[in-house]
Amino acid sequence: MKRYPEIPQLEDAPDGLLESGHLWLTELIDGDLLRVQLRENGLVRFGDRDRVYEDAGSVPEHYGHAVRHVRERLDRETLRGAVDDVESVVLFGVATHRRQIEYDWDRLPSFLGVDVYSAEQESFRPPDAAEGIFDRLGLEPVNAVERERNTRDFDPDSYVIPDSAWYDGPARGVVIRNKKGGRAELRHPEFDEPQGPEPIDAPAEELADSYADDRRFEKIAAELRSRNEPVSFESLYDRTIEDILREKHGRLFHRISRRMPRGLTPWRKPTLDDANNVQQQDRPPLYNINIYQIRSSNVNHDGRRRATTHRSHQTRRSHTASWRPPSNQRPIPALCQPNKRVGVAVR
């Protein structure tokens, strides 16, 4: 799958970006890159900036909302009808989950398309063509701030970063592109230096009350009904997890990420390579798992349910290749686990 090139800051932009022609300026979204490729067998393959995931179940959990969004909305037949080889096309977009900016998550799509690569043409499509492709495929393109602005009318030194279309505040910046493939970022001074999210330090019960509340259940139930999908415990459970991770994963996993050994992220299971990495660092890792188990006593037709939580133990282990998480655990750390001993009545 085609890798996406790093976008330089404007001061390091390629020669000729601002010399002639017309520019497209799009909002720079605070999220993570997601690559999308339709396979010949009809399945969708995903990748982040560095890795490709052969099945959707192996994608890190905080991408779950974006993966579901693309799988449900991508118009496969339109793509098949447009090209001879569907695998020759790679879509690039932003998975819009919480990093530095607190967007209006109810308005911001889970995935915004930013670029399209065609292996048949061995090039990225021009910005106007890419915007049209995403529209036809059922995926929303990233919002354009300005289209076809003549380079002679653009002065980066006096340019003022506009407000974001997705929350009440300034955009993180703009991406400046020409139709020859040149691109660069111009960031708002407020977001020049990357800053991690403020960590959450609260009891599990308080977090569940704050995040797994009736308002969230009702919102997700309404979305399901609008798509003519059944409202059930399973559908609410999966989407609630994805919704919370989208908005809060950086804050919930902040402490875990800092304590993980180099190369081991908090959303996948350890491997033999991780064990060797830990041994080279000569220190045992602390896995602060913090699994919040939501036990649902009732789900009614409106999608409301009462939830209680309890916190799992913290685990300190010597990391060896022979250790495996219990078979009933999802990749660590999962925000919630179903409690199989609690009955659920769906009315």
CATH at residue 153: 3.30.470.30
How confident is the model at residue 199, as a pLDDT? 67
Percent residues over pLDDT 90 in the chain: 47
- Domain endpoint, select from 148, 163, 191: 191
| Closest residue by Cα to residue 99 from 213, 195, 234 | 195
Do 183 and 131 reside in the same domain of the chain? yes
pTM more than 0.75: no
| Closest residue by Cα to residue 93 from 166, 143, 34 | 34
How confident is the model at residue 251, as a pLDDT? 61
Quick: pLDDT tens for 201-234: 766 677 767 777 788 888 888 888 888 888 888 8
How confident is the model at residue 193, as a pLDDT? 66
Residues with Cβ within 8 Å of 166's Cβ and at least 6 positions away in sequence, in order, are 27, 29, 96, 103, 104, 107, 108
Question: Taking the CB of residue 44, how many other CB atoms lie within 10 A of it?
Answer: 16
Rounded-to-integer distance, Cα 90 and Cα 86, Å: 9
Determine which helix (DSSP H) or strand (DSSP E) holds 328, and give its type and residue range: none
115 is a domain residue: yes
Do 151 and 208 reside in the same domain of the chain? no
Do 180 and 213 reside in the same domain of the chain? no
Tokens of 285: 């890792």
- Domain endpoint, select from 145, 169, 191: 191
Quick: pLDDT tens for 84-113: 999 999 999 999 998 889 999 999 999 999
Percent residues over pLDDT 70 in the chain: 67
Do 42 and 185 reside in the same domain of the chain? yes
Do 172 and 260 reside in the same domain of the chain? no
More confident residue, 251 or 61: 61
Do 36 and 181 reside in the same domain of the chain? yes
**Does the pLDDT value for residue 284 go beyond 90?**
no
More confident residue, 288 or 210: 210
Q: Which domain holds residue 236?
A: 204-316
3 is a domain residue: no
117 is a domain residue: yes
240 is a domain residue: yes
169 is a domain residue: yes
Residues with Cβ within 8 Å of 344's Cβ and at least 6 positions away in sequence, in order, are 233, 296, 297, 298, 299
Q: Supply the Cα-derived Rg of the chain in whole angstroms.
A: 22
Do 101 and 148 reside in the same domain of the chain? yes
- Domain endpoint, select from 191, 219, 236: 191
Please tell me whether residue 85 adopts helix, strand or coil conformation.
coil
Do 173 and 214 reside in the same domain of the chain? no
Residue type, 80: R
Rounded-to-integer distance, Cα 309 and Cα 295, Å: 6
Do 154 and 96 reside in the same domain of the chain? yes
32 is a domain residue: yes
330 is a domain residue: no
How confident is the model at residue 36, as a pLDDT? 97
Do 51 and 142 reside in the same domain of the chain? yes
1 is a domain residue: no
Mean pLDDT along residues 43-54: 94
The residue with tokens 């979305």 is 223
Do 95 and 50 reside in the same domain of the chain? yes
CB-count exposure of residue 90 (10 Å: 0-12, 13-18, 19+): buried
Our count of domains for the chain comes to 2
Do 58 and 145 reside in the same domain of the chain? yes
Average pLDDT of the chain to the nearest whole number: 75
How confident is the model at residue 202, as a pLDDT? 67
Mean pLDDT along residues 302-308: 42
Quick: pLDDT tens for 111-120: 999 999 999 9
